[in-house]
Amino acid sequence: MDFTIIIFILLIPMAIFLLLGIFNQKIKPAVSGYLGVLGLLASTLLSFYTAYQYFFVNGKSNEVYQTFVEKTLWMEFTETLHFDMGILIDPISVMMLIVVSLISLMVHIYSRGYMKGDEGYTKFFAFLSLFTFSMYGLVLASNLFQLYVFWELVGVSSYLLIGYYYTKASAVAAAKKAFIVTRFADLGFLIGILTIGYYAGTYDFGVLNDPGGTAIMNWAATSFMGLSALTWALILIFIGGAGKSAMFPLHIWLPDAMEGPTPVSALIHAATMVVAGVYLVARLFPMFYFVEQGFALNIVAYVGAFSALFAAIIAIVQTDIKRVLAYSTMSQLGYMMLALGVSGYYANEGLGFMASMFHLFTHAMFKALLFLGAGSILHAVHSNFLRDMGGLRKHMPITHITFLIAALAIAGVPPLAGFWSKDEILAAAYEHNKLIYIVGVLVAGLTAFYIFRIYFGIFWGKEKKYEHTPQEAPLSMTFPMLFLAFMSISAGFIPFGKFITADKIEFLAPIHYPLAAIAVGAGSMGIVIAWLFYKKESDLADKFAKTFGAFYKWTVAKFYFDEIYLFVAKKIMFNKVAAPIAKFDKKYVDGTMAAIGNKTVLTSEKIKGMQSGRVQDYAFAFVAGIIMIALLSIYLWPT
Amino acid sequence: MDFSNFLLMRQEIFLLAIILVLIIAEMFMPRKKKGSIVHLSIFLFGIHTVAGFLGIHESSMFGGMFRTNGLIHFFKNLLDVGVLIILLQSADWLQEKIVPQDNVAEYLILLFSSLLGLYFMISAGDFLMFYLGLELSSLPIAALAAYETAKRKSSEAGIKFILSAALASGISLFGISLLYATSGSIYFDDLLVLITSSRLSILGMILFFAGLAFKISLVPFHFWTADVYEGAPIGIASYLSVISKGAAAFILLILLFTILKPLMHVWENIVYGIAIATMFIGNLFALRQKNMKRFLAFSSIAQAGFILLGLIVGNQLGMATVIYFVLVYVFSNLAAFGVVQAISLRTGKEHMNDYEGLYRTNPNLSLVLMLGLFSLAGIPPLAGFFGKFFLFTAAASEGYYLLVFLAVVNVTISLYYYLLVVRAMFLRKSDRPIPFFKNGIYMRLGLIIAVLGILILGFYGPLYDYIYELSGSFNY
């Protein structure tokens, strides 16, 4: 592989970040927009070139996709345990390059229209570039530690972008929430990394993931509380992944993160950063699969399935369209996690792995499209809420059509992209675990329902009184939407099994007609019900909601998770733990330090008489000093 | 002897030539044009400094009385750079205060003579040359300290210095004679094998040590420091605090590590005790100083205590860390002294309270002073941090954990008082702050070189490795 080209994929966004960041005030907004787009375009072309080289020219040897690594030593602890900085090229990292490049490029183009006239236009593009750089670094990382470094960088750029409207209190609060919740999860990740370093003795993905390597072969060597130490490490690492990918119960930051500008939601909180958790599990998939017969992987499966269902239920009753999409994202991420969780490793058993990556790819396309569509709608009606929208299909034809395509894709209607990847996931789940399969079908139905609920609510129904007539977005915004709509239609036809599999040997993944029929049936039912409820304004939905009573209320309140967290944080953590510790710190730790300081100053006051200013005293001290030293040296310390 | 061998002494010869040129210039220049002597000397000394970086090979002459090698050569260059910075920083002061008195040439001649003495001292191959160098470096300083004849404090400084210096060099000479008495030679090469551990030779070593400890201002030989720094012209105070101190530390290092190595079991105890005493006394006194010059005097005593941490190690590592520390210390201390000098010259203010609100009126100066003080305090990533860090690791590598711990305690104390100045400049407001003023080109250049030293040495790693390599020039 040509690593000199690949390194530029990373360096270009970094350079643009520095350029825009340092000369923030001096660069005209128009220039900074073009710079951002052109830089990303260059990175995208290089990514595609890399992908072409890898998948079609020299990536395979003996029918197996090879892993290429180029790295430099950064810090060495032992022979095997060291921090490296490097680039790792294998099927999933190349696929992620494509996803990140494509979505980021589209979001850059879109932002030129969306952010027009914003005060911090240049700053915005600087942050976008920083994020893109960090994300590239994350997917290309050659070892766990490097991945962690970029993982945090991604978190920082996410924080900066959520809080982009820093004069808005809710945006600042959301940024803090996202940062603290994910940092909390990252603590687990860090402990997991250290545990891996200690018990596996290496951070290198090549060694860790080798099914015949020392790390996997010796997993049973050490155990802790009934499980292998490595299982614990993997669970801790998964906690980090669950934080970034908004898995239950660490999901609470994602809906609030919608306070950021909508292009940011599309890029970071729908298509790229939030899939980092999925990517992390996929990256360490051989470990998850082999260590302790996949104990940790089962946890991934159940957490994923539960999150998928949980989020889909909440999404049904949200009234803010961006929050609906946020919960939808969480639900679909759960889908990807459960697909990984039910996957095997060798050949066709690895269907779940392939399906998960496939869904990651297609989901990135249609979910980014949904967000960009939502952005275009917000742009036109200046509100996030469903109640302020209606009948927009006449005013915004392109947004309408592209949104419809994305909605059909996420609902799993053939032959759009979501259908294919969802089918593979359900097939994998069916083979492995019937319970998870049923949850999957249920979620498919719910997904179709909630997405068409907002679709009908936005584009059909009665027209609301708008301040000024909504208008279609400019070309800079519609072009990315059209492009992503094209991808949402066609991405499903990519034969993923040829490219991305757990054991890196290609296989054929056929369509499973009976399962597909069931999934499509569930999806269609969701769409039909949504059509009945929301196509025209009616009280059908309200009546229906009433029959659920308390459950409905619970759902609207998102099952009170925010309140539970607040209770735990404020009432228990702050009052019972933090406050006493703070008191102890102030009274005893600070007190001791202050006492030492005061004593020092006092001593210095006491000895000031030594410096008398008289030169004969100085001479006396001089000679006395010599005599004392001489006596001590000659008589006290025997030679 | 081949005549080309004299090239070994080319730095000494060039410096002597500068001194002679200055004497001639003093005689023949009309009184009104005496000011240009300052420019001339800076120009000549600049050439001398740059030319000094030309390589030199290891050799000795005059039957071993004079020797040089890579490390000694490197250290001379360091002294040159330091003196150049001092010259640049005092140029304005010379023009305004000394030229009207019509004795500027003498000032420069005396300063260069003292530097010449330091050259001979560190290049010495026997005790005689060493002693001559020591004296040559000390005597002009007494005159220079008293140079501001209009000020009573300046004369006091001169007197105190000459008396203390006379005592110190007398005692040192006595020590040297005892060493000669026990071994029968004054040549370092012979002494390498001749020195034995007898009570008499130990006494000789201690007396000799005291003479250099005076120059480095180690406790209890430090009392003169604050008074002399306070009274002397600031250029001389900074010369004493970095150049003279650095050179003395360097030769002490070489002699302790080579010819006095057989007595290491004795001097390591002495150095241990003096290191602790010096760090604590220096820091505790610095804590309550309000006069910036006295403040820097005690801070420089405390810094000398840190040097001993590398001294106690007694091997190549200790040599390299001490020299690196001195290198860093030269730049850090000169940045601080330069600002104090600039402010003293323009406003006559030397009290810490006068510095309140300096950042508002003179942001650049206060930033330079801050960098200098932070580097002295050892805050990363400035050079001072690495200087201290290497010293501490060297001492720890030989198992002196308690000493390192006490040193760390002292770093904390020193941080406090360095921050006092920073706080005054940046956080305090004053009704009558020092008004804004512009510095001359020489002063600015002097400060810039010092700041560059602080910043670049902090980030440029290979220099330490280079010094470490050079430190192999001696057999330990």
Question: What digits encode the pLDDT tens for the residues A124-153?
Answer: 889 999 999 999 999 999 989 999 999 999
**3-state class of A497 per DSSP?**
helix
A615 in contact with chain B, both atoms CB, cutoff 8 A: yes
- The answer for residues whose C-beta is within 8 angstroms of residue A29's C-beta and 6 or more apart is A121, A122
Kindly report the backbone phi and psi dihedral angles of residue A293, in degrees, each rounded to the nearest multiple of 5, phi listed first. Answer: 50, 40
How would you label A324-358 residue by residue, b for 16+ Cβ within 10 Å and e otherwise?
Answer: bbbbbbbbbbbbbbbbbbbbbbeeebbbbbbbbbb
Report residue A535's pLDDT band, with 50, 70 and 90 as the boundaries: confident
- pLDDT tens sequence for chain B (476 residues): 566 777 888 899 999 999 999 999 988 888 888 889 999 999 999 999 999 988 788 888 888 889 998 899 999 999 999 999 999 999 999 999 888 888 899 999 999 999 999 999 999 999 999 999 999 999 999 999 999 888 888 999 999 999 999 999 999 999 999 999 999 899 998 888 888 888 899 999 999 999 999 999 998 899 999 999 999 999 999 999 999 999 999 999 999 999 998 888 889 899 999 999 999 999 999 988 889 999 999 999 999 999 999 999 888 899 999 999 999 999 999 999 999 999 999 988 889 889 998 998 999 999 999 999 999 998 888 889 989 999 999 999 988 999 999 999 999 889 999 999 999 999 888 888 888 888 889 999 999 999 999 998 877 768 888 888 888 887 66
Are A637 and B269 a contacting pair at CB < 8 A?
yes
Q: Please report residues of B whose CB lies closer than 8 A to that of A610.
A: 281
pLDDT of res. A576? 83
- Amino acid in the structure at residue B475: N
Beta bridge partner(s), residue A228:
A223
Are B171 and A630 a contacting pair at CB < 8 A?
no
**3-state class of A385 per DSSP?**
strand
- Structure confidence by residue, pLDDT tens digits, A148-196: 999 999 999 999 888 888 888 888 888 888 898 888 899 999 999 998 8
User: Measured between CB atoms, which of A604, A622, A639 is closest to B266?
Assistant: A639
User: How far apart (Å, rounded) are the C-alpha atoms in residues A545 and A525?
Assistant: 18
The angle that helices A397-411 and A475-490 make with each other, rounded to 10 degrees, is 30
pLDDT of res. A47? 92
Are A633 and B206 a contacting pair at CB < 8 A?
yes
- Search chain A and give the residue with CA nearest B164: A619
pLDDT of res. A540? 67
Name which of B338, B310, B340 is nearest B325 in CA terms.
B310
- Best A626, A628, A631, A636 residue to mutate vs chain B (most B CBs within 10 Å): A626
Are A637 and B221 a contacting pair at CB < 8 A?
no
B302 in contact with chain A, both atoms CB, cutoff 8 A: no
A593 in contact with chain B, both atoms CB, cutoff 8 A: no
A159, containing H or E segment = helix A144-162
B279 in contact with chain A, both atoms CB, cutoff 8 A: no
What is the pLDDT of chain A when averaged over all its residues? Answer: 86
Q: Please report residues of B whose CB lies closer than 8 A to that of A637.
A: 265-266, 269
Q: Is A61 left (phi over 0), alpha (psi -120 to 50) or beta?
A: beta
User: Measured between CB atoms, which of B202, B226, B288 is closest to A633?
Assistant: B202
Q: How many CB pairs under 8 A join A and B?
A: 82
User: How far apart (Å, rounded) are the C-alpha atoms in residues B142 and B147?
Assistant: 9
Which pair of tokens denotes residue A5? 């080209």
- The answer for residues whose C-beta is within 8 angstroms of residue B191's C-beta and 6 or more apart is B179, B183, B185, B259
| Closest-CA distance of chain B to residue A588, Å | 20
Q: Find the largest Cα–Cα distance for chain A.
A: 107
Are B220 and A621 a contacting pair at CB < 8 A?
yes
A426, containing H or E segment = helix A417-432
User: How far apart (Å, rounded) are the C-alpha atoms in residues B434 and A12?
Assistant: 47
- Best A622, A623, A635 residue to mutate vs chain B (most B CBs within 10 Å): A622
Name which of A169, A360, A150, A328 is nearest A254 in CA terms.
A328
A598 in contact with chain B, both atoms CB, cutoff 8 A: no
Q: Please report residues of A whose CB lies closer than 8 A to that of B278.
A: none
**3-state class of B259 per DSSP?**
coil
Which pair of tokens denotes residue A408? 């059909």
Asked if residues A268 and A131 have their Cβ atoms less than 8 Å apart, the reply is: yes
A 522-541 residues with CB < 8 A to B: none
pLDDT of res. A117? 79
User: How far apart (Å, rounded) are the C-alpha atoms in residues A92 and A98?
Assistant: 10
User: How far apart (Å, rounded) are the C-alpha atoms in residues B324 and B310?
Assistant: 10
- Structure confidence by residue, pLDDT tens digits, A76-105: 777 888 888 889 988 899 999 999 999 999
Q: What is the pTM of this model?
A: 0.68
pLDDT of res. B242? 94
Kindly report the backbone phi and psi dihedral angles of residue A394, in degrees, each rounded to the nearest multiple of 5, phi listed first. Answer: -75, -35
pLDDT of res. B86? 96
Are B288 and A625 a contacting pair at CB < 8 A?
no
B 386-445 residues with CB < 8 A to A: 413, 416
pLDDT of res. B256? 92
- Amino acid in the structure at residue A470: P
- Search chain B and give the residue with CA nearest A622: B221
B281 in contact with chain A, both atoms CB, cutoff 8 A: yes
Report residue A305's pLDDT band, with 50, 70 and 90 as the boundaries: very high
- Structure confidence by residue, pLDDT tens digits, A344-381: 888 778 888 998 999 999 999 999 999 999 988 888 88
Tell me the three-class secondary structure of B122-139, residue by residue.
HHECEHHHHHHHHHHHHH
- Search chain B and give the residue with CA nearest A636: B266
Are A619 and B163 a contacting pair at CB < 8 A?
yes
